[in-house]
Structures are given as structure tokens and as C-alpha cells.
Structure 1
Amino acid sequence: MNATQFGFNPEYAEEAPTLDEINSLKGVAVLEFGAPWCGHCQASHDAVKETMQSYSDMAHIKVFDGKGKRLGRQFGVKLWPTLIVLKDGQEVSRIVRFTASDAVRKLLDTAI
């Protein structure tokens, strides 16, 4: 699977990709774990959206996380929002509970 198959999705996807699909990604991608009703996720939304505009070639996969959602547990997500940068399907870095676009930009720059 190629990371460019995923574009920016303003909404959290109910159906998350499987761990095998994530592991098979080529290139750099960002996984964003959260929930639409989460206040922390809402507070970080603009920072992610603004920053991702400068990284339009980078896949951004928003994953609706919560009870019974497997992918978040497989990545050890405990707090929302959590951004995880992947390179060829492997985690490079992550940030949790951020609100500033500078923090997101710094995270994404580690993958380039």
C-alpha cells in the first residue's frame, strides 16, 4: 500500500486501516488518533490542519479511537490527540496533547 492513497481527511475515519495495512505503507505518513467529541482533539484541530497544508505530499490518516478500537491499542495510544509519524510503516516519532502548529511542524520535520 502506498501512503499517498490516503489524503487529508477532516473527519476521523470509523473504519481504521489494519496494522498490516499500516506496516505496508511506503513513504511518510501521519496517523492521528482521537475522537470527534474530544475537547483536546478539537483544540488541536487547527494546528494539524494548518501544518498539514505545508506537507500536502504526506499522507494524513485520522483514526477514530476509543473502546473496542484495535489500532490505537496496537500503537499504545493512551491520550488524545496522538500524532504518530511513520516512515515506510514504522514509527519514527509522536506527540500527544499538543495545541500549537509549531509542535506539529517540529514533529513532521523529524521524518523528512
Structure 2
Amino acid sequence: MASKPAGIEDMISKKLVAVSRTTSVRNAVALAKGSNVDMLPVLDGEVLVGIARLEKLEGAGEGTVEKAMDKPVFVERDSTIENASVEIINSGLGRIPVVDSRSSMKCIGIVAATDLLAARIGKK
């Protein structure tokens, strides 16, 4: 019997640093820098509606996050380590939101590239 591919469930950080569409760009930049992250999930309530990359926010000037956000990049809570790793590599981000698509894209946390790498080499 084949074993089930390793999943990301135990690697999801529940400490979610996020913003809303109406957060000012200035506040979003300060939050990202203060939290030492390169991306902030953009939420409408608990639902992931986009991502705000620090680099793009820094060049956005005044206004709200909505004008600088990108389409959401994410993995689902039952993703394998391999699938999550591919999504992070393709996104160019150091971490990526995790959603529960059974709950209308509810953002349940973040998984970091370092956690996925540690799992791949047996350190987690």
C-alpha cells in the first residue's frame, strides 16, 4: 500500500499578519517591515481576496492596499509539501497563505518556505 504524501497541516502558522483592502499603503508597509515579512494577505473578513507584496506597496505611493494588491496566491490546507513548495517557488515569496476552500477561501494561516524546506530534509 502506498503511503500518503506528507502534508502541510502541521506547518501552518496560525499567527496571521494581514491587512484589509482599505488599509492605507503607509500602514501596510509599516506592518510588513515591523513583522519582517515580504507579503501580507489581504482579507475581507476571514476570506483571502489578494496579496500585498512589500516591494509593490513601497512603490505605490498614497492610497489603500486595494490599488496595489495582486490576485491571491495560496495553497489549500490539505496540500502536500511538494505542491506547497512549487507554489512558493512560482510566487517568488518567502511565505504563502493557506486557505480552507471548503469554507469559501477562509485564510487559516501561513506556511513559510523555510518550514517546507526543513520538512523536506527531515528537520521538522
Fold shared per TM-score above 0.5: no
Instruction: Work out which of the two has the higher radius of gyration on C-alpha atoms and give 1 or 2.
Output: 2
| Structure with bigger RCO (C-alpha 8 Å, 6+ apart) | 1
